[in-house]
Amino acid sequence: MRITLAIVTFIPLAAFAVGVPTSLCAADRQINSVDSNAIARAVVEADLTPAGKHNGFSFDGESSRPEYPHIQFFQAWPNAGQGIIGNYAIDLLTGDGWSTDLCREIRTPRLQHLQRAARARIGLTDKHYKQVKRSTPPCER
């Protein structure tokens, strides 16, 4: 019985001594594709006119860039008509969204609700959010 207790006691101590890999820290987790899609839609909707909201939109061109490894870039265009609505970016660590054309972060009550829910799902606390939040948006300029 003593041997069993010694082994059981040793395992948690060994795990504690090794530590948790940094890839498992909440600040390094990324929001999932379902959340990033919902956030992207809310970001674009914030830029639309009422007529644009009625006609709908699509987005594509999701990509990342070496200088911004945790940022997802995309374009949105109207379902009816020509041209593009704009260029946007989502920070996959925080859920923050930007218009990269206007070089500004987009904030709406609906978007903030989606962002808080996504952050909670990855375990990103307010404290960690403040540590990983970008101070400037990834602009196209």
Strands 104-105 and 97-99: antiparallel
Instruction: Report the C-alpha gap between 64 and 41 in whole angstroms.
Output: 18
Taking only the tens place, the pLDDT of each residue in 34-76 is: 999 999 999 999 988 776 777 788 888 677 788 888 899 999 9
What are the CB-based long-range contacts (under 8 Å, 24+) for 45-54?
A: 45/108, 45/110, 46/106, 46/107, 46/108, 46/111, 47/76, 47/85, 47/86, 47/99, 47/106, 48/85, 52/78, 52/85
| pLDDT confidence of residue 61 | 67
Nearest CA to 69 among 92, 48, 35?
A: 92
Instruction: Report the C-alpha gap between 48 and 141 in whole angstroms.
Output: 22
Residue spans of the domains in the chain: they are: 30-132
Instruction: Report the C-alpha gap between 42 and 28 in whole angstroms.
Output: 24
Domain boundaries 30-132, corresponding CATH code: 3.10.450.170
Which of 109-113, 120-124, 136-140 shows the lowest per-residue confidence on average (mean pLDDT)? 136-140
pTM of the model: 0.74
Structure tokens at 106: 């987009």
